[in-house]
Amino acid sequence: MLFIFDWDGTLSDSKAKITKAMQLAAEDLGWVPLDDHLIHNIIGLGLPEAIHRLYPDVSVGDRQSLREAYATRFLMLDEARPSDFFPGVAETLYHLKGQGHTLTIATGKSRKGLDRIFGVLGLGDFFHATRCADETASKPDPLMLQELLSEFGVGPEDAVMIGDTEYDMEMAKNIAMPRIAVSYGAHHVDRLHAYEPVLCLDRFDELLAWERLR
């Protein structure tokens, strides 16, 4: 089976770091930082799309300046302490791979950002394929899912998207792909239920019970 995982908020406990980096970046530009919940709402989007939603009325140049400041701040915070996986993530991923499943990533991160994290964690060859927002379309456009389906020659019914935001759920629903929500990420679980996930995980390792029933 083709498993497609979001990264931030699903595998990686990085919500607080993303939020802090965006607030510090705004301060670097002399702007009033936004409240946490507003930043949580854009986690999962590609960075340009996220910044446009947060600051729709600023100029293109100012959004680019914020993008650069955010990248700098996030890197500083992440180098000081890389984000941990949520409980049960590593064990579950290794089990699924050992069972012969295809494991992939579909993320709003940039290619540079994801590759850097893979290097830190030693995961460069672990996942069978990855898609990042800056090399395809940002969520909730389903293009990254369609590309992964095409790469492995399977249909949506033989894949599942696991994510923590309504953007993950929406892009999967758009192509009738089964989807599994996690309740501990960036978006409140009530928002995810609106997209009719087949399952909602309170702990990541609960995915193993579902996998055994497939």
**pTM for the model:** 0.96
Tell me the pLDDT of the chain averaged across its residues. 96
For every residue of the chain, which 3-state class applies, written as one string?
CEEEECCECCCECCHHHHHHHHHHHHHHCCCCCCCHHHHHCCECECHHHHHHHHCCCCCHHHHHHHHHHHHHHHHHHHHHCCCCECCCHHHHHHHHHHCCCEEEEEECCCHHHHHHHHHHHCCCCCCCEEEEHHHCCCCCCCHHHHHHHHHHCCCHHHEEEEECCHHHHHHHHHCCCCEEEECCCCCCHHHHHCCCCCEEECCHHHHHHHHHHC
Note the pLDDT tens digit of each residue in 77-96: 999 888 999 999 999 999 99
Per-domain residue ranges of the chain: 2-13+84-213, 15-80
- Which superfamily does 2-13+84-213 belong to? HAD superfamily/HAD-like (3.40.50.1000)
Residue range 148-187, pLDDT digits in tens: 999 999 999 999 999 999 999 999 999 999 999 999 999 9
pLDDT at 143: 98
Enumerate the active-site residues: 6, 8
Q: The domain 15-80 is classified under which CATH number: 3.40.50, 1.10.287, 1.10.150, 1.10.12?
A: 1.10.150
